[in-house]
Every structure is written in C-alpha cells, then in structure tokens.
Amino acid sequence: MRRALAALVLLAVSAFAANLRMYLKDGSYHIVREYGVQKDRVRFYSVERSQWEEIPADLVDLKRTEDEAADRKQRLEEDAKVISAEEKVEREQVQEISKIPQNPGVYQLIDRKELRILHLAESKVHNNKRRSVLKAISPIPLVSGKATLELDNLHSNYNVENDAPEFYIQIEREERFGIVRLIPHENVRIAEKLTIIPVSKEVVEEPEEVEIFRRQLDQNGLYKIWPQKPLEPGEYAVVEYTPGKLNMQIWDFTWKPGAKYVPDPRYAPPTVVK
C-alpha cells in the first residue's frame, strides 16, 4: 500500500505541470498542462478544453503562477522523500525480523549480521537456608516469609560490549518481560526478592527493573527491547515471567566497560546471517 502511494507521489512530481493553475491578474485562473511566454502572448494548453490557446501576456500574473508551481513541486518532492525513507525503514525491519529465530528465547544481532543466542540460566529459590531449583513444570513447596530468587556465581558468562545493548525476545504467550538488575551477594546474584504470604501462599515478586523501550516487530510475539538510559556497569538479565507465579525465565549478561565478547565454549558460536 505504501509502495503504491510512493509511486503515485513520484508520478505526481514528474507530471506536476499537467495540473498547473495559470493565474490572471484579475484573480481568476486557467487549469493548464503547460504554458510558454512568446513575446507579448502566453500560449497554454487548456485542460478544461483540451486544446492550445493564447492570451495577452499582460493579463497573466506570471510571478504568482511560477511561485505556486515551484512551491507545489517542492512539497511533492519532500513528500516523496519522506515516503521513500519510511519504505526503507520497513524493508530494513523485514530483513531484521528474518534474521531472528522463531524459537522462544533471547537474541542479539550484532551489526545486522552476527546472531548471538543468550542461554537460559538456572535459578534457585533461597528460603530459610534452603535452595530449590526453580522449574516451571514442578512448583516448589514454599514456606511463608521472605525468600530470594538467585543465580549461581557472581558474574555471567555472557558479556555485552556497550551500555545500551539491544535484545530480541521471542515469547510464546503474553507474559511480562524486560531487563532487571541482578544484585551480587556472597557467591550468587539475586534476581528478585520474594515475599510468600501466609495461608494463601501468594508470592509477591520484587525484581529491580530497568526502564526500557520496547517495539513489537511482528504479530508472532517478537519484540525488540533496549534500556532507556545507559546501563551502569554490573550484572543484568533479560527476564520473562507472570507476576505471582514464580515462573521467571532468566537470560543473564554482564556489562563491564572495556570487556570484549567471548563466546561461551559450552555453546555453539555466533551465527553469521545474511
């Protein structure tokens, strides 16, 4: 649709003289396809009568006619540039989407050609000095009180190379997602604080969320997210979860100025995509 509109605008630019208003000094005008000054006469092709005609030059307001024609041509050219630029963005977005796998997960696309896959971290609930591996398919028996959702080790194996990383997240169903800051503590990183309500066992989750921009790229659950402000050095994660369900999926990463990306030897290397 937009491509057809751009073609129409460009056609109008090339044929703008076919619908000129040739103004007369009394304020009236003729709709003309083209015109030319020949000594003391103006010869023009009348669109209304589909024929060539002539009129004394001193009856024609040439300055107004020329100024309006030039202004109209400029506006049409500017509209064509805007539509062309929007089409370019749309084409680039289609190419961008085609490079991201349709499998649920989190990805980075470096320089539009190197696809990096972030790997799902194993998290554990730490409650009353006991840690239990969090698995969505087998809920953990919870004890009322305070708890934390934790990841082992103080640092992620995945380094990002700048303070404004862009991620693609493909979700299977409508859930909350975003970026959170992980808090190092002893030999773990805390993803969120948990409060388990007595009797009801309702879980109140408190992740330290980072404000992000998000853009939906298609209707199949693909989003692009990035932080609104540069990240401070530290430990972070892209997360997806349903509040209160204790089903948080975590893709962790580190931002450390000067650090270079090093592929994790446990996983396949980045893929170069065309």
Task: For each of the domains in the chain, give its residue range(s) and CATH number, in order of start.
Answer: 2-98 (2.30.30.100), 105-272 (no CATH)
Residue with the larger pLDDT of the pair 230 and 258: 230
Burial class of residue 168, CB neighbours in 10 A (0-12, 13-18, 19+): buried
46's enclosing H/E stretch is strand 41-46
Give the Cα separation of 62 and 26 in Å (integer).
12
Chain segment 4-46, per-residue pLDDT in tens: 544 444 444 444 445 789 999 999 999 998 899 998 999 999 9
pTM over 0.75: no
pLDDT confidence of residue 141: 53
User: Among 237, 257, 234, 259, which Cα is nearest to 248's?
Assistant: 237
In this structure, the chain runs to a length of 274
Determine the average pLDDT of the residues in 261-272.
Answer: 71
In the chain, alpha helices (H):
2-14, 62-98
Determine the average pLDDT of the residues in 210-220.
Answer: 93
